[in-house]
A and B are shown apart, each in its own frame.
Chain A
Amino acid sequence: QSVLTQPPSVSGAPGQRVTISCTGSSSNIGANYDVHWYQQLPGTAPKLLIYANNNRPSGVPDRFSGSKSGTSASLAITGLQAEDEADYYCQSYDSSLSGYVFGTGTKVTVL
């Protein structure tokens, strides 16, 4: 019962740009809580990709960028590479639930 909605899948050819949306509500993203993005490669633990809406941890390529507006957020991957094939999740805080919430997850496929 994820509170944040993401498209189940997106795909693109190597070198292309893809975006993943994350739609929330007035009790989470719309309440100005920060949004974070995680990448999960098959069989591994999630990895923090973007924090506080649009910041990249050290070591994350600048091909990854985040944005937030209103009750939604987005993750963009430019110059898509084969190693970007993974599941991606957005995450925020929800004041109604008094806890963290995740997106439904998006599988990125590199054609």
Chain B
Amino acid sequence: EVQVVESGGGLVQPGRSLRLSCTGSGFTFGDHTMSWFRQAPGKGLEWVGFLRSKAYGGTTAYAASVKGRFTISRDDSESIAYLQMNSLKTEDTAVYYCSRDRVVAISNSGMDVWGQGTTVTVSS
């Protein structure tokens, strides 16, 4: 079964750091652009950032709201993508989802595999 599973969420104080993990299975993880999204309580979906496959240059891109604070990395040998979140703010409170782009080595092909999400709460 093709799937991704997020982990690492929890309660964290403002200004602190947290690292989320996204573990893929059932597909060749390294071939796909992997993205992180989030959804604040009662709000819509927001793109956080993506990391393209090495075949696509391995480049990253981030939303303006997290640029300079969040970093996406990947370990294709372990089929894991990470979201390192630093200098967390209360407005980063959300469910964080990991997903893959549908087409190998292509971005913006549609995200066809989503995890169940992991909840991050930033509060003192």
Contact = CB atoms under 8 A, between A and B. Distances in A.
Interface stretch (B7-15, B24-32, B41-49, B78-86): B41-49
Interface string A59-76: 000000000000000000
A20 B74 CA distance: 36
Q: How large is the interface on B (under 10, 10 to 19, 20 to 34, 35 or more residues)?
A: 20 to 34
A100 B50 CA distance: 9
Which applies to chain A's interface (DSSP): helix, strand, loop or mixed? strand
A66 B110 CA distance: 13
Given A45-B117, A99-B49, A102-B45, A93 B102 contact: no
Contacts of B62: 99
B105 to A, nearest CB: 15
B46 A36 contact: no
A102 B47 contact: yes
B44 A102 contact: yes
Nearest to B63: A99
B111 interface: yes
Contact of A51 (B45, B46, B110): B110
Contacts of B102: 48, 51, 57
A102 B108 contact: no
Interface in A77-97: 87, 89, 91-93, 97
Given A45-B115, A89-B44, A97 B64 contact: yes
B109 interface: yes
B44 A105 contact: yes
Among B49, B50, B63, max chain A CB count under 10 A is at B63
Interface string B93-124: 00001000010000111111011110000000
29 contacts: A34-B109, A36-B108, A36-B110, A40-B45, A45-B115, A46-B37, A48-B111, A51-B102, A51-B109, A51-B110, A52-B109, A52-B110, A57-B112, A89-B45, A91-B110, A92-B108, A93-B107, A97-B63, A99-B47, A99-B50, A99-B62, A100-B47, A100-B50, A102-B44, A102-B45, A103-B44, A104-B44, A105-B44, A105-B45
Interface of A: 2, 33-34, 36, 38, 40, 45-48, 51-52, 57, 87, 89, 91-93, 97-105
